[in-house]
Amino acid sequence: MDNKTLFSQTKPLKLFFLAAIPGAIGMFASSLYQLMDGLMVGRILGETPFAAVNLAMPFVIINFAIADLIGVGSSVPISHALGRKENAEANNIFTCSCIMIVISGICLGGLLFALAPTLLSLMGAEGELLDLSVQYLRVYALCSPVTTIIFAVDNYLRISGVIKGSLAMNVAMSLLCMGFEFLFLFVLHLQVWAAALATCLGMMLCAIGAFVPFFAGKLALRFVRPRFHAAMIKRIVACGAPNFLNNIAARVTSIFMNILLLRFGGETAVNVYGVLMYAEGVVIPIMYGACDSLQPAIGFNWGAGDLKRVFSIEKCCYAACTVVSVCAAIAMLCFPTALARLFLQSPDQNTLELTTLAMRLFGAGYFVRWASFAAQSFFLAIGKAAQATALSICTALVVPLILIGAFYPLELTGLWLNTPVTYCVVGVLAAILLALFFRKLKRSPVPAKDIDDAQI
């Protein structure tokens, strides 16, 4: 089944099972190596290496954020161009985007390698904790030119209708990363830098394999002679900005959180926060995989002017996000101690009590997390960057930083309350933005030929 038939003719519910379920499984599989990374580092190497990984991780994700900006940002105009049957333009955006990702990986990777000791020491790390976190970050920085593109190629495979190929790539990447990490840490007894190298090797091998059919010219997208122009770059940046700003803003927030965690609770508090982030690192990719897998179909039909089909598909996104989010909340509320014991080698009673409190407060926020997440995905899929960016920035930076100040007197308890209160506030904002959007859309129907650039 070609991508045109899949996106425009398949019934929405069937499309959900064909695209979103494999997408969610694929993203879960790709996140599984991150979960196992935390498990193996914490259980094999101990609590100080685990804290080092958590301190370095915000910068690791920032390293991938530029590639994600270009990958997600290019996916929207590519899908819209294919919906308008402008294949040449779609291929040019695809080619230029891949080149931009490699160049950005070289530049940002070099910068992070040079600044790693300074950045991590400014956070309050010192001694062994500083040395280990620098080692971990520098491995990712060196490998970024050949690893960061892995997230973009996943989008390009789905746009080309290769949904099973996308799933296979994510599963293979997780298995390779976990296999290398087990070999390096458990068998060869290497240090925390080897955990980063294991992940980079798995990403690199899968990225190379995923690009083979594109170079062979067997898919809807293919490499052509690149034609860069300002309008294309501007649109890529605009469409990718919500995800990019969410990644960057969330990491900035994490950096501030880690600084305060070290101040209020030391290494133990950083480890507890790390457990929360690994729990989130399982839930969010599942929701992201379901929504992101349907974005090409939503963008295709938006470009073709079929609003009824767009909204039918989007209902499936909302349903999936709600189910996953609520189930995650229940799990965090019911099994906080078990989650702590997964990651921490030998937690004492104080650590377990602190983790239980933090996990239950954190998990409560997931009863409403679906509201803003699904709304942001919808706005992004139809190219409404302003609304998606507003939700992204408020979720990841604006509201959390305001709450850090407001809850500062509560010390650690205030930090644990930050996330659930943020999700409630941004959920209300999402409802307001959606109401305004549909009101304006109802008053000013948009012709299909103009729908892509309409200011709604």
Q: Where are the domains of the chain?
A: 23-453
Identify the pLDDT of residue 99.
Answer: 92
What tokens appear for 90 in the block? 């779609």
Rounded to an integer, the average pLDDT of 2-13 is: 67
Listed ranges 38-47, 179-188, 269-278; the one with the highest mean pLDDT: 179-188
In terms of pLDDT, which residue wins out, 222 or 453?
A: 222
CA distance 19 to 419: 30
Classify the C-alpha dihedral 60-65-70-76 as positive or negative: positive
- pLDDT over 70 (residue 452): no
CA distance 359 to 335: 9
Kindly state the greatest CA–CA separation across the chain.
66
Classify the C-alpha dihedral 332-129-173-40 as positive or negative: negative
CA distance 144 to 72: 18
Taking the model in full, what pTM does it have? Answer: 0.69
For residue 327, what are the contacts with CB-CB under 8 A and spacing of at least 6? none
- pLDDT over 80 (residue 383): no
From 82-91, 198-207, 341-350, the region with the lowest mean pLDDT: 341-350
Identify the pLDDT of residue 359.
Answer: 92
Identify the pLDDT of residue 30.
Answer: 67
Residue that has been written with the tokens 């989008």 in this structure: 155
DSSP 264-275: HHHHHHHHHHHH
Let me know: does 176 contact 237? Beta carbons within 8 Å.
no
- pLDDT over 80 (residue 272): yes
217 φ/ψ angles, rounded to the nearest 5 degrees: 70, 30
In terms of pLDDT, which residue wins out, 79 or 185?
A: 185
CA distance 133 to 53: 6
**How many C-beta atoms surround the C-beta of residue 455 within 10 A?**
8
Q: How many CA atoms lie within 13 A of 321 on its CB side?
A: 23
CA distance 232 to 240: 12
Rounded to an integer, the average pLDDT of 315-320 is: 86
> pLDDT category, 3, cuts 50, 70, 90?
low
In terms of pLDDT, which residue wins out, 32 or 148?
A: 148
Let me know: does 371 contact 431? Beta carbons within 8 Å.
yes
End-to-end CA distance of the chain: 33
- pLDDT over 70 (residue 4): no
- pLDDT over 50 (residue 120): yes
Averaged pLDDT score across all residues of the chain = 84
DSSP alpha helix (H) spans, 16-162: 21-40, 47-83, 87-122, 127-147, 150-159
Let me know: does 165 contact 216? Beta carbons within 8 Å.
no
Q: How many residues does the chain have?
A: 456
In terms of pLDDT, which residue wins out, 392 or 245?
A: 392
Identify the pLDDT of residue 195.
Answer: 92
In terms of pLDDT, which residue wins out, 1 or 451?
A: 1
**Cα-to-chain-centroid distance, residue 142:** 21
Tell me: the pLDDT tens digits for 25-83? Answer: 777 776 777 778 888 888 888 888 988 998 898 889 888 888 888 888 888 888 888 87
Q: What is the DSSP letter of 346?
A: S
- pLDDT over 60 (residue 352): yes
Let me know: does 35 contact 281? Beta carbons within 8 Å.
yes
Identify the pLDDT of residue 447.
Answer: 41
CA distance 17 to 34: 26
